[in-house]
Amino acid sequence: MRNIRIIARLDIKAPNLVKGIQFEGLRKIGDPSKFALKYYLQGADEIFCADIVASLYERNSLLDIINSTTNNVFIPITVGGGIRSIKDVTSALNAGADKVSINTAAIKKPGLITEVAEKFGSQCMVLSIQAKYRNSGWEAYYDNGRESSGIDVIEWAKKGQDLGAGEILLTSVDREGTAKGMDIELIKAVTNVVTIPVIASGGIGNLNDIGLAVQEGCADAVSVAHVLHYEELTVNEIRQYCIEKNIPVRRLSVDGA
């Protein structure tokens, strides 16, 4: 079994790290660079940072965000929010990102997934899916969890993989920011139909939620925000918990990274 990755997630509305509940009521949390550094030093395996309102505001603050988060952080960084073209990907990678995450632009133009994967490799192309439960299944959302695309999440995940996505960041809009537990059924439903790694996101309120996402949901990574930002958990506590539960994780040397 591959190591399960613990990813610290930073949603950014430039110049601030923000956090909402179900993507609503974005609260300013602080300076993203300080939080990125803190989570790196706590032993996060990766950092995910996104301009969460890029599509909503039809802007692109990505380079500022990369500059403000990559300093002194020596773990893989995925950036997202407002990536609409190969040119955007190129500048994000040049600025220091290791991977890019795309949601809105991929929904509007699925071929972009293939273009990015062919030019930069699948490992670099993370398909971000905001999944909202409606009626009898999950629908893919965009614009910071505000707009429904009408696309079925399970179908979209399969299609994303076929088009060349190397990884899926799967966020439950219903659970995001609530700290009331993850949507395990959603995670299971997606991990069942794809072979590429799935990062589970949205709803972690305690250590047990992480165990469930990995052991029942078969997630390959967890993305953690609320409990880290509000200092309810540290990355190291999560790692220790995983070790106790026999969940394979990267072993760290004593000095952190």
Cβ-contact 35, 250 below 8 angstroms: no
- Choose, by CB under 8 A, the member of 3, 90, 148, 234 that binds other proteins: 148
69 vs 149, beta carbon nearer other proteins: 149
- Choose, by CB under 8 A, the member of 115, 146, 216, 252 that binds other proteins: 146
Cβ-contact 45, 58 below 8 angstroms: no
Q: Which stretch in 2-10, 49-57, 93-101, 234-242 sits in contact with other proteins by CB under 8 A?
A: 49-57
Q: Which stretch in 121-129, 140-148, 160-168, 231-239 sits in contact with other proteins by CB under 8 A?
A: 140-148
Q: Which two tokens stand for residue 50?
A: 């996104």
Q: Which stretch in 53-61, 84-92, 100-108, 246-254 sits in contact with other proteins by CB under 8 A?
A: 53-61
Q: How far is the CB of 217 from other proteins (least distance, A)?
A: 23
Task: Tell me which residues in 168-227 interact with other proteins (CB under 8 A).
Answer: 178
Q: What single letter denotes the amino acid at residue 206?
A: N
Q: How far is the CB of 143 from other proteins (least distance, A)?
A: 8
For residues 67 and 36, give the distance between their C-alpha atoms in angstroms, rounded to a whole number.
Answer: 11
Q: Which stretch in 3-11, 76-84, 145-153, 199-207 sits in contact with other proteins by CB under 8 A?
A: 145-153
Residue 34 lies near other proteins (rule: CB under 8 A)? no
* Alpha-carbon 138 to chain mean position: 18
- Residue found under tokens 């999944």: 131
- Choose, by CB under 8 A, the member of 8, 12, 47, 56 that binds other proteins: 56
Taking the CA atoms of residue 4, residue 201, residue 94 and residue 14 in that order, the dihedral angle to the nearest 10 degrees is -140
Residues 6+ apart with CB under 8 A from 143: 55, 56, 104
Residues 6+ apart with CB under 8 A from 107: 140, 142, 149, 151, 156
Residue 28 lies near other proteins (rule: CB under 8 A)? yes
Residue 30 lies near other proteins (rule: CB under 8 A)? no
Closest to 214 (Cα-Cα) out of 45, 9, 4, 8: 4
How many chain residues are in contact with other proteins, going by CB under 8 A? 20
Q: How far is the CB of 202 from other proteins (least distance, A)?
A: 14
119 vs 180, beta carbon nearer other proteins: 180
Residue 26 lies near other proteins (rule: CB under 8 A)? yes
Write 250-253 long-range contacts (CB < 8 A, 24+).
250/3, 250/5, 250/45, 252/43
150 vs 195, beta carbon nearer other proteins: 150
For residues 20 and 10, give the distance between their C-alpha atoms in angstroms, rounded to a whole number.
Answer: 11
Q: Which residues bind other proteins (CB under 8 A)?
A: 13, 21-22, 24-28, 53, 56-59, 132, 134, 143, 146-148, 178
